[in-house]
Structure 1
């Protein structure tokens, strides 16, 4: 079926009290695995390409986005295309031109006032083109920093930020961290509930690979809607490659080790899709 809008998937999940999983795509194998997982689970999914992934592919977003969009278009379940952690306004515009329905514009490294100004400017530009915008407030950064109470998102400031910028969704810092390889993060579910009450737009959890199944379920119950996952797939991908090459050290055809790597990612994604949806 044709790709759908991220806004529709997030709105539907929120209305049901469920989460919707958003997985990061680095290679076409990622997109194929995630889409196959969504079809196996019978659940919608968001495929997202980050600014870092674009840099890996030479700085041009169009080839990876085009391939990912083609895979999404052939899916039997609703699939949306999103750009994640875009700091460059030029890349934001290129992604929209390439057909994404939503963008996470990330000015969270800036001071609060400048974050508001930059985010509001880009929200206005994107909304004029029918594009849904996510932003970030707080620090979902390195493992140690993200677990320090001082970097959690303040509910009153979050409400002020959402109103001042006009964003459609807000990524908040509640205890998770990007790039964690162990699922040991402990989320502040009381804070999530306070943020849900204070902020009118859907909440987004970044760094979800470091969060256990039960913590994810509780986070969705407390008010998280869009659940971003990246590192968990890379762990599965790399393990698949390593296992194959350890067993078959003479392999030179990449298809031999990419197939089990893709299958491993699909299995991980299917499990997490079900968890996020309340399974």
Structure 2
């Protein structure tokens, strides 16, 4: 196929060093997450989807939708989904290879970032492991990462972010998090967010995104409470001097109207969608919120003739029943059934990806306002003349005020509610 001169130039200069080394002859424009963020800013009131590629069909469908919408997209996987204890076949170490192969096969020309989401650090042992593991992830093609130490007290969250930063390439997209994602329990505050971002700023660390606990949850949303737009806007406004945008987690389960509000009234440029895309690829009935629907007996509704075959779905349900799994545990079916899904006839595989494509396309174009933002991402690369487009922010804090001792002391004055105890990873 014929490629534009702008695309060819962006391909030449815009791919990070790890991507060029892994895929020297590729025509896939895999870029830093920073590039995607800047494209959304350039359009204004625009968000791209960060699609959690829990299976091959989600990745394929999301990339097809991005091409159709002419929008850059982020393909991501979280530590719980695709780390060392993965429940998904797509993981930190093979995701870039899958994306690159699909892009070359289908002639995908929109920029794509490969994001390691929710890289959790909960204690000193996790921090030590992260210093070994994170470099291996970038060696395998990751171009963007979310450091999630939000489970820790505020001072320890900041110190963990500082301690691990040297393992992250300066050119890479960077997300940080304050407030663990657990619904209306332990909501993030302006003070907590400012503390984290000011402390990072003092050490010349300028994240592209901040994720908040702003009222949403991971997984299947049991209520319509969802994202608190006002709280999100208030925190984003307080962070304006630091030029940081929002990453919206737990997007599945929130209505299109609320997501449009997030785009229009906050500084969000990244919206994570995981559970909805998984269910859609399988062929389950979902509502506008992306939530899988249940029948009168409390079972998922498989739409006949969509997604996987009815026979394979019955096999998956039996497997889950034999394990005693509840509806929220069905995510664990991804790993044991991926090869059976890939072994279905082409027409079945195609309709699985097509269903994801149609849902994602509608989200990108009718809800998140991301249509035709791919040229803006390419413009950002060409303007920078490099894969490294640099930070948005600059240092405005005094490093002498943000030593480890002063960080610990400052944190004592923050009123912080971490919310209910428990495991909220997804």
TM bucket (normalised to shorter chain) is: 0.7 to 0.9
Matching of residue 137 in structure 1 with residue 178 in structure 2: yes
Unaligned runs of 5+ in 2: 1-27, 121-125, 285-301, 316-339, 372-426
* Residue 171 (structure 1) shift: 0.3
* Residue 122 (structure 1) shift: 1.8
The answer to which of 3-12 and 91-100 deviates more is 91-100
TM, length-normalised to structure 1: 0.87
Distance 1:250 1:84, change over 3 A: closer
Q: Does the aligned pair in 2 maintain the 1:28–1:68 contact within 8 Å?
A: no
* Residue 208 (structure 1) shift: 0.3
Matching of residue 106 in structure 1 with residue 148 in structure 2: yes
Instruction: Work out the CA distance in 1 between the residues paired with 2:236 and 2:314.
Output: 53
Larger % of helix: which?
1
The Cα offsets for residues 81-120 of structure 1, whole Å up to 9 and x where unpaired, read as 1111112514322221112221011111122221111112
Match 1:14 to one of 41, 50, 60: 41
Distance 1:80 1:249, change over 3 A: closer
- The match for 1:254 is 344
Instruction: Work out the CA distance in 2 between the residues paired with 1:69 and 1:159.
Output: 37
Length, aligned pairs only: 272
Secondary structure at 1:243 match in 2: coil
- The match for 1:174 is 214
Secondary structure at 1:68 match in 2: helix
Q: Does the aligned pair in 1 maintain the 2:179–2:187 contact within 8 Å?
A: yes
Instruction: Work out the CA distance in 1 between the residues paired with 2:230 and 2:81.
Output: 33
Match 2:269 to one of 225, 230, 238: 225
Alignment of 1:179-218 (within 5 A): 179-181=219-221, 184-199=224-239, 200=242, 201-218=244-261
The Cα offsets for residues 130-157 of structure 1, whole Å up to 9 and x where unpaired, read as 222211111213xxxx123xx1111122
Instruction: Work out the CA distance in 1 between the residues paired with 2:90 and 2:224.
Output: 33
- The match for 1:78 is 111
Match 2:194 to one of 159, 181, 189: 159
Bigger radius of gyration among the two = 2
Instruction: Work out the CA distance in 1 between the residues paired with 2:250 and 2:91.
Output: 25
Secondary structure at 2:217 match in 1: coil
Secondary structure at 2:283 match in 1: helix
Instruction: Work out the CA distance in 1 between the residues paired with 2:48 and 2:358.
Output: 17
Distance 1:276 1:249, change over 3 A: closer
Instruction: Work out the CA distance in 2 between the residues paired with 1:109 and 1:32.
Output: 33
Secondary structure at 2:31 match in 1: coil
Q: Does the aligned pair in 1 maintain the 2:54–2:274 contact within 8 Å?
A: no
Instruction: Work out the CA distance in 1 between the residues paired with 2:58 and 2:278.
Output: 9
Relative contact order higher in (CA < 8 Å, ≥ 6 apart) = 2
Q: Does the aligned pair in 2 maintain the 1:178–1:206 contact within 8 Å?
A: yes
Larger % of strand: which?
1
